[in-house]
Structure 1
Amino acid sequence: MPGVPSSRGCEACRRQKKKCDQLKPACTRCTRLQIPCVGSGQRRFKFKEGYASKQQGAIILSTFARVPTNDTLQITRDFIEVLQVTDIRYDVTWYGPFLENIPCRIGSSAALDAAIAAVTGAVKALRTRQGFPDAMTKYVKGWKALRTCLSDPEQTKSIHTVVAIYLMMICQSWVGRPDDHFANHGEILAHILDAAVTQAGKGEFEDGMIVTLSSPVVLQSIVDPNLPLGSWFWTLAKSYEPKRPIMENQFGRLPSLQFYVMAQVTQWLRDPALHLVNIATAYNQLIADCSTMHSMLDKIVELEASGNPFLSGRLHTRPQAAYSVLICLALILNLVMRIFDPNSETLAEEAADLIGESIWLSRLADRHRPFGVSFMPVSLATAWMAADSMAVKDQIRDILIGYQADFPAMNWIETCSWLQNKYDEIRRSQLDALFATQF
């Protein structure tokens, strides 16, 4: 099943069969149409039946892989089949665009191969609602292979081990058992990335993987300020420090979603009383970015209603994911600011608006369940925590129960209570500190 190089143009230009100039951060056509520019410059392959020999021009799947065996060839075939799914509801690249580069890594790590097999089995079972026993068998084998790998200190540092851990955590949310604590995944990734950051600079795949997996750790640490972040995090964050302040949205880039900005927020939340000015500045930018993103989504809805065929697949849903993260971050900072200014009517009104936006967004994205709404539960759980009205809490709870029907392993209702307890602790500690300074 050799790979045949495909266009490097962005997704929008490829769908319309237009020539893409591949300008960064957005091509000329996407900038003119004011639409997201995704995938520009990315190397793609079209996979066809049959395996090419080493003739001139043939593409070899992996320079890293061992001599392929029947097992690795089957894993490769099955995973490529999963990657070729066009139904956005079961598009695995929601969990990271780097997944498209994994086929060339198959055969390089027993743990990675087992994790890929587990993902493939789970996706097929979820799509067809058949084959769950086989999926569970592969899931168990994946964890066994990973435990064996982690017993070797050298393999623990490998980028392939990091990928395997990430894939198994995804599988756990699909077909496994509920976590004991919401923060488990973030803690595991933080510890593994601490070791894997030594792979930074070794190649495009390694760098892309580290950045991709760091982003959920950053979000997790914002939701849970007690999550430990090692030295790797601050080294990585510093490397993303902009050369000049980002003062406005440029080519669809949102200042609040820049990695370095989010990294700073995690630091401020560990002692919010010392960083109230910075928190307020970041919050105001988040409110502005939320307004920008809502306007973009309104335009997308209007274009879709007019029958525009361009807005299919990932290009339709990526802005929804970005807006979900913005709402989550804004609600967290709103909660922290209200600790120090509990009587602010403006903050209370903005919180109510953000909660309403989260509910609206969940309705807009609902047709993309289950994979296509993977970004929504954390935002909704944060909205539940921030809501004062029991009627609104019940409304959010009903939506989250629907998500639990998709993946019973994820207990989002418990997550809401967990988040509530976490931020109640922060509120008590900050109020105690304020009280102590007055006497």
Structure 2
Amino acid sequence: MPGVPSGRGCDGCRAQKKKCDQSKPSCGRCTRLKLVCVGSGERRYKFKDGFPTASKKQVLVAKSAPITTGLVRINGNTVNKTVPYTPTNELSRMLSAFVDKINFSTTDYRYNLAWSFGGFLVDVPQRLGVNEALDASVAAVVVAHSDFSARKGVTAHALMKYSRALNALRKYLDDPVKANASETLGAVMILLICQQFIGGPERLWTGHCEGAAKMLKARRYYNPNDEFEAKIVLTLGGPVLFEGLLNPNIQFSPKEWKTLVQNHLNKDTHEGRFMYCLSRVPEFMQRIKAIRETGIGDSTLLDDMRTNYDALKAALSELYIQLQAVEKNMPDDSTPTTAKQARAFWAHNHLQRLYSLVLTIGIILNSVLSSIDAANAVELAIETTQWSWEIIGIAEDAVRYRPLGACCLPLALAAAWVGGMYDPALRPLVEKWIIEYENDFPVGDKVDVNPRLLFEELLQQCRLADVETPMVWTV
């Protein structure tokens, strides 16, 4: 099934068969109509049945500046890279199944993989058949997602595919050249997605995030001319950053953290701004730790943390206004019945997920800031309580987007559980909704990492969890 390039217009213009000017961050038509612009400038592929023989070669054409990647050295604007290709019925079936799961016209926001876990997945199909680790990870996630969607639970078939994918990834990681390929990095991210569907024991952190962090650390760069790689780095940056708040084996400099969560694709977006705010938390925690251990004050720490916190609050306010505007135009129906309603639901789900994530980050920053800012303890307590109630409201409304369209809610609810320490009525409600949303995932093991464990540990590191009221540190 060779990939045939399709248009680069945004989803809204393509749906209405209008010419898209592909402006960033929003095309002219979407700006004029005040629509959320999704997919502008992205290359898409239509897949047509083809039957190449085993003796033929698959020729991939890449255009970029001179650069060395994990698989080939590219010199000049265009090179032909010949890769042995032996098509199989299994590969064709897997490709067809995977495309169906990321296709917005066939799989809606409740189960769409690309919508829930990252736009980089749209670029995966044309890279299949080149990297065994990527192929195996896609095969694993296709089976796991199919079983999850059919509510079959964790099947032996899914576990077998997952095990094969792990073995293929290990072999590639043992090869320094293959380990640096962007496709191998994509395999790591897809296996992280797969863990959402097969579950695992409750623990503080995953092995995949730690492994991904080591790969990202070893690479020390990303190729700005390779959008697939840039998208993967951004997608991986979130899980690695959240785990890096507590996992001592994940260590990056402030500059490295910024590169992981903010690049040319998102630096001018809400996502880039609030992820950068979160990326500064490891640095702040190290400085707080140094104060405790040495007893020497840090004259700029409080100002730096307050500036970062205020920047996050500004982004939160802007996002809240956008979300309120979209909610005013939402149809009364619980599910869309027309194309126009469907677009409204997509836009609302997108902004609601973003807003819940910013609230989560806000509560984290609030918790860390509370550990040293005694003068504003009351104000900070009021804010974190208010944000926790907002997360409860989102949990009640986002039921329509379950399961995958609301898969960020367990993390947000865990943050609300932390933020609810000052309001006795909050935590019972939060715990009720945590159980409700966790039931969307494999029964028993739940998700691989228990978010509440992460936040409890974060509080302990900030010296907040061992007493009823925050312990403050003045500098």
Q: How many residues align?
A: 422
Structure 1 Cα separation of the partners of residues 345 and 82 of structure 2 = 32
SS of the residue aligned with 1:304? coil
Share of identical aligned residues, percent? 30
| Matched residue, 1:106 | 128
Q: Which residue of structure 2 aligns with residue 291 of structure 1?
A: 317
CA contact (8 A) 2:395 2:409 kept: yes
After TM superposition, the structure 1 stretch with the greater mean CA deviation from structure 2, 25-34 or 276-285, is 25-34
**Inter-partner Cα distance in structure 2 for 1:188 and 1:282:** 29
36-45 or 414-423, larger mean C-alpha shift: 414-423
Moved more, 307-316 or 77-86: 307-316
The yes-or-no answer on 1:73 pairing with 2:92 is yes
Alpha-carbon spacing, 1:79–1:254, altered in 2? closer, same or farther (3 Å): closer
Quick check: 2:237–2:260 contact (8 Å CA) kept in 1? no
Aligned position for 1:121: 143
Structure 1 stretch displaced more, 280-289 or 179-188: 179-188
Distance 1:129 1:91 in 2: 15
Partners of 1:365 and 1:145 in 2: CA distance: 37
CA distance in 2, matches of 1:239, 1:402: 32
Q: Deviations over 1:202-242 (max 9, x none)?
A: 63322332233223323443x538563336x7247369989
The reply to whether residue 319 of structure 1 matches residue 335 of structure 2 is: no
Q: Relative to structure 1, is the Cα distance of residues 285 and 64 closer, same or farther in structure 2, using a 3 angstrom cutoff? A: farther
Flag the 1:118–1:4 CA change in 2: closer, same or farther, 3 A. same
Give 1:79 deviation, angstroms. 1.6
Q: 2:107 maps to which residue?
A: 86
Deviation at 1:290, TM superposition (A): 1.9
CA displacement, residues 306-349 of structure 1 (integer Å, 9 cap, x when unaligned): 78536356433221221122111111121122223456322221
Task: Quote the offset at 1:179 in angstroms.
Answer: 4.7
TM-score scaled by length of structure 1: 0.84
Structure 1: segments with no counterpart, 5+ residues = none
The question of 1:138 aligning with 2:161 is answered: yes
Q: Give 2:35's aligned residue.
A: 35
Aligned letter for 1:400? I
Read off the aligned partner of 1:292 and give its amino acid letter: E
1:188 aligns with 2:211: yes
- Aligned pair 1:302/2:334, yes or no? no
Provide closer, same or farther for how the CA distance between residues 302 and 66 of structure 1 changes in structure 2, counting only shifts above 3 A.
farther
The within-5 A match list for 1:183-332 is 184-198=207-221, 200-201=223-224, 203-221=226-244, 223-224=245-246, 226=248, 228-230=250-252, 234-235=255-256, 237=258, 253-254=269-270, 257=273, 260-272=276-288, 274-305=300-331, 308-309=340-341, 311-312=343-344, 314-332=346-364
Whether the 8 Å CA contact 1:76–1:103 is kept in 2: the answer is: yes
Contact kept? 2:199, 2:448, Cα under 8 Å: no
Q: 1:369 matched to which residue of 2?
A: 402
Aligned residue for 2:7, secondary structure, equals coil
Counterpart-to-counterpart distance in 1, 2:364 and 2:47: 44
Q: Distance in 1 between matches of 2:247 and 2:146?
A: 37
Q: CA RMSD in A?
A: 3.4
- Per-residue deviation at 1:390? 4.0
Over 3 Å counting, the alpha-carbon distance change for 1:376 and 1:190 in structure 2 is: same
- Equivalent residues of 1:320, 1:361 under 8 A apart: yes
Task: Determine the structure 2 residue equivalent to 1:425.
Answer: 461
Question: Which has the larger displacement, 310-319 or 140-149?
Answer: 310-319
Q: Helix, strand or coil: the match of 2:46?
A: strand
The AA in structure 1 aligned to 2:19 is K
Q: Which amino acid aligns with 1:212?
A: T
In structure 2, how many angstroms separate the alpha carbons of the residues matched to 1:158 and 1:239?
A: 17
Partners of 2:272 and 2:175 lie apart in 1 by: 39
Q: Which has the higher helix share?
A: 1
Distance 2:401 2:246 in 1: 28
Aligned partners of 1:331 and 1:225: how far apart in 2?
19
Letter in 2 for 1:283: Y
Q: Is the 8 A contact 1:190 1:228 kept in 2?
A: yes
Quote how far apart the aligned CAs of 1:387 are. Answer: 1.1
- Counterpart of 1:350, as a letter, is E
Instruction: Report deviation, 1:355.
Output: 0.4
